[in-house]
Amino acid sequence: MSNYIAIDIGGTQTRAAIFEQHSETPLLTQRISTLKQGEQPLDRLLDLIASIWEQSQPVCAIGVAAASPVDPYRGIIIAPPNIPGWINLPLQKHIQDRFHVPVALGNDANLAALAEWKFGSGKGHRNMIYITVSTGIGGGVILDNKLLLGERGLAGELGHITVLPDGPLCGCGQRGHIEAVASGPSIARWVEEELNKGKPSILPTGQHLTAKQIAAAATQGDELSLAAFHRAGTFLGRMFADYLHIFNPTAIVVGGGVSRSGSFFLEPLRAAMQSSVMSPQFLVNLTLTTAALGDEVCLLGALALAQSLANQ
C-alpha cells in the first residue's frame, strides 16, 4: 500500500502531512513558516516534502493546496499575495522533477470545497457549494460530483460578487463585494464605524476590533454586536439565494472562523436565504450547514486531490 502526501501552503505557515490509503487521519504532520529570511521559499518547501517523504515511502501521489490563484491544469502558482517572487511558478513540475510521482495543485478554497464534499458536511451531495467566511470570503463549487474550475482554473471566486454597489473597498481593489461586507475584518470595521458614530456597546471605542471579540460581545447580548452579525448574515443569505438560482445545489456548506460565531449569525443568514429565493422549488431537499473539517480542511482537500490522481 502506498501513501499520499498532502501540502497546504498558506501565507504564514506551510503544512505537510502523510496519509495511508483510505485514511483521513494523518500518520504524521509537519509545519514550517512559509518564508524565512535568507532562504528560497521553494527550497524550503521541497526540503519539507523530502523530510516527510523519508518517513512515509512508498508515496504514490502528492496534492498541494495554495493560498493563491493557481492554474490547476498546468500546475502553476500564479501570484500568491504573501510569497514574493512566486509569479507563474511551475510548482507541479518542480515537485515532480524531484520526487517522480504524480503531483496536482489547487487553490485552497477550491480544495476546501473538495474536502468538505469528499470527507465532510457535503458528503453524498452531487451539487454542493462551499463558502468560507474568515479573513476573506472564498469558496468552491461541486457540480455533478466534480469541482468547478472554469477555463483556466480561476472559477469559484464566490467572495468577489458585488452585493452593495459602490460599497466598502474589497481586498481585491473593487467595491461592495461580499468579502468587503461580511468577512471577519469587514464586520469589525462596520462595528468600529458605528462606535465612532456613538452607538452604545460594551465594546471599547478607538481600538482595532476583531470578529472574535464582537462575537463574544454578541454572546453577552450586546446589541451593536448582534446587529453586526445580523447584517453580515443577511447579506450572505441573500447571496446564497443568488447561488441557489445559479447552481441549484442540494447543499451549502459554510466554513471559516466567522461561521463558528453562533446562531446570531447563522439564523439571520438562513432566514435571508429562505426569504430571498425566487421560488420555494430552490429550497426543496436543500441542506444549509456548517463545515465539518475545521482547520485541516485545506490539507484534506490536498489529500482528496492526491487520491484523485492515484485513481486516474
Note whether 292 binds a second copy by CB under 8 A. no
CB of 18 to a second copy, least distance (A): 33
Q: What is the DSSP letter of 258?
A: G
Cβ-proximal residues to 270 (8 Å cutoff; 6+ apart), any chain: 237, 288
Write out the three cell numbers for 254. 459554510
Interface residue with a second copy, options 165, 198, 204, 206 (CB under 8 A): 165
Note whether 311 binds a second copy by CB under 8 A. no
Note whether 221 binds a second copy by CB under 8 A. no
- Considering the complex, state which of residue 163 and residue 309 has its C-beta at the smaller distance from a second copy: 163
* E-strand stretches of 240-279: 251-255
Note whether 278 binds a second copy by CB under 8 A. yes
Cβ-proximal residues to 285 (8 Å cutoff; 6+ apart), any chain: 250
Q: What is the DSSP letter of 170?
A: P
Write out the three cell numbers for 14. 506551510
Interface residue with a second copy, options 279, 280, 295, 312 (CB under 8 A): 279
Phi, psi of 252 (to 5 degrees): -120, 120
Contact window for a second copy (CB under 8 A) among 197-205, 208-216, 235-243, 299-307: 235-243
Site string for a second copy, 27-56 (x = CB under 8 A): ------------------------------
Cβ-proximal residues to 8 (8 Å cutoff; 6+ apart), any chain: 14, 15, 16, 64, 65, 108, 298, 299, 302
Q: Which residues bind a second copy (CB under 8 A)?
A: 69, 78, 126-127, 141, 143, 148-158, 160-165, 170, 172-174, 177, 235, 238-239, 241-242, 245-250, 276-279, 281-282, 284-285
